[in-house]
Amino acid sequence: MKKNQHPKRISYFHWFYRLSAALFISFYLNTPTQYQTFITLVKQRNYQEAFIFTLLMSFMVIWGVHYSNLYLDKRLSWEEKPLKRSLYQFLIGIVFMVLLCYLAARIYFFMVNGDILLSDYMVLEFPLIQAAIVVLNMLYFGYYMLIKIFKKDADLCLKGSLGKHAYYFPVKEVLYLQREGKIGYAVLKNGKKYIIDYKMCELELLLNEDEFFRINRSIMVALDAVSGYKSIKNSQCELLLKEPVSSEVNLIVTRNRTDLFKKMIEKREVKAEL
């Protein structure tokens, strides 16, 4: 386990596709509204200036959304804090980019001695730019979700701390996860114990439900670590894990979760202890 090592990030779209998208957007915003052939247009200075400006703006937006997603993936992943990530994605990926485009357009019109408010830009082109920014953010989010779905949980890592140092560890190494009041713990199969900043509801969304099961309010176990279980009173059952666990840890499955737990564990051919 390496200290402060982040899990492998999604690389998203290659620079060639980003550049191609910028060229297409620049062409689309400047050419279809003109009633002249493309050969005639490219010879005109005002078209050249508008095309280069739009290309630079498209380039700025696409690269801005790209690197803002890389930054947020590293600092605030969708799985760990979905609501907070949504807010930051909206503010940085959409609002900031729209304001940046508006500022760039104002500068451009100032340089060509034009008035942006009296032109058709705010009515025709700028709404398209806003829509493109929203679609671009949705595209990155969809790509992220697809990669995570097909990648499954094999490479998923959780962040924990030991003392003053932060660590990332694969979920496949987790024995069980525990929440005591406002403090969370991750106990690994090798016996190491880390403090984690995840609520149980967040872990349920983050982890594969076929691999991890929440047995009660404070404990979630890795199903591949269960060696068996035994029935106890009140239609509950107590888990037996493959690795030694402190007697203070509550491994009792609550009554309302027992039936579902038995169905899931039987798929793994784990039998009840008599």
Per run of 10 residues, the mean pLDDT along the chain (length 274 residues) is 52 86 84 67 79 88 92 82 92 95 89 84 86 93 79 70 87 92 91 90 82 91 90 87 84 90 82 62
Looking at residue 175, what is its pLDDT?
94
- What is the sign of the dihedral through the CA atoms of 68, 69, 73 and 76? positive
Looking at residue 50, what is its pLDDT?
80
Looking at residue 273, what is its pLDDT?
64
Rounded Cα gap, residues 50 and 210, in angstroms: 54
Looking at residue 77, what is its pLDDT?
79
Domain boundaries, given as residue ranges, for the chain = 15-151, 157-266
- CATH T-level topology, domain 157-266: OB fold (Dihydrolipoamide Acetyltransferase, E2P) (2.40.50)
Looking at residue 36, what is its pLDDT?
67
Looking at residue 62, what is its pLDDT?
93
Q: Where are the beta strands (DSSP E) in the chain?
A: 157-162, 165-170, 174-180, 183-188, 193-196, 212-214, 219-222, 226-232, 236-241, 252-253
Instruction: Give me the amino acid identity at 252.
Output: I
DSSP secondary structure letter of residue 211: T
Rounded Cα gap, residues 104 and 121, in angstroms: 12
Looking at residue 220, what is its pLDDT?
94
